[in-house]
Structure 1
Amino acid sequence: MTQVWRADDRYRGGDADAGIDTRHAFSFSGHYDPDNVNFGLLVACNEERLAPGAGFPLHPHRDVEIVTWVAEGLLEHQDSLGETSLVRPGDVQRLGAGSGVRHVERNAGDEPLRFVQMWLVPGTFGTEPEYEVVRGIADGTPFALPRTEAVLHVRRLGDGERTAVPDAAWMYVHMVRGQAVLDGATLRTGDAARIADARDLEVRGQGSAELLMWEMHAEPSYG
Structure 2
Amino acid sequence: MIKIRKSEERGHANHGWLDSYHTFSFAEYHDPNHVQFGSLRVINEDRVQPGQGFGTHGHRDMEIVSYVLEGALKHSDSMGNGSIISPGDVQRMSAGTGVTHSEYNASQSELVHFLQIWILPKTIGLAPSYEQKYFPINDKRNRLCLLVSPDGHDGSVTVHQDIRIYSSVLEKSSSVTHTLAPGRRAYVQLASGAAEVNSHLLHAGDGARITDESSILLTGAPEAEALIFDIA
Q: Which bracket does the TM-score occupy, shorter chain normalised?
A: over 0.9
Distance in 1 separating the partners of 2:13 and 2:99: 23
Query: Equivalent residue for 1:64?
Result: 62
CA RMSD between the two structures:
1.2
List per-residue Cα deviations over 1:133-184 (Å, max 9, x = no partner). 1113532331214210001101011001001133052201111101100122
Identity within the alignment, %: 36
Pick from 203, 208, 216: which aligns with 2:218?
A: 203
Distance in 2 separating the partners of 1:130 and 1:206: 39
Query: Equivalent residue for 1:2?
Result: 2
Mind listing any 5+ residue stretches in structure 2 that lack a counterpart? 150-157
Distance in 2 separating the partners of 1:170 and 1:153: 14
Query: Equivalent residue for 2:154?
Result: none
Distance in 2 separating the partners of 1:149 and 1:124: 11
The number of aligned residues is: 215
Pick from 128, 137, 141: which aligns with 2:145?
A: 141
Report the residue type matching 2:180 in the other structure: D
Instruction: Report SS of the residue matched to 1:159.
Output: coil
Q: Is the 8 A contact 1:165 1:200 kept in 2?
A: yes
List per-residue Cα deviations over 1:15-38 (Å, max 9, x = no partner). 11xx11111011110111222111
| TM-score, length of structure 2 as denominator length | 0.89
Asked if 1:47 is matched to 2:62, the reply is: no
Deviation at 1:2, TM superposition (A): 0.6
Report the residue type matching 1:6 in the other structure: K
Mind listing any 5+ residue stretches in structure 1 that lack a counterpart? 218-223
Query: Equivalent residue for 2:169?
Result: 156
List per-residue Cα deviations over 1:27-71 (Å, max 9, x = no partner). 110111222111111111000000100100001111110111100
Deviation at 1:14, TM superposition (A): 4.3
Asked if 1:111 is matched to 2:110, the reply is: yes
Q: Is the 8 A contact 2:92 2:159 kept in 1?
A: no
Match runs of 1:1-223 below 5 Å: 1-16=1-16, 19-109=17-107, 110-137=109-136, 138-139=139-140, 140-142=144-146, 143-144=148-149, 145-168=158-181, 169-217=184-232
Distance in 2 separating the partners of 1:84 and 1:197: 42
Large movers: runs of 4+ above 6 Å:
none
Query: Equivalent residue for 1:221?
Result: none
Q: Is the 8 A contact 1:167 1:197 kept in 2?
A: no
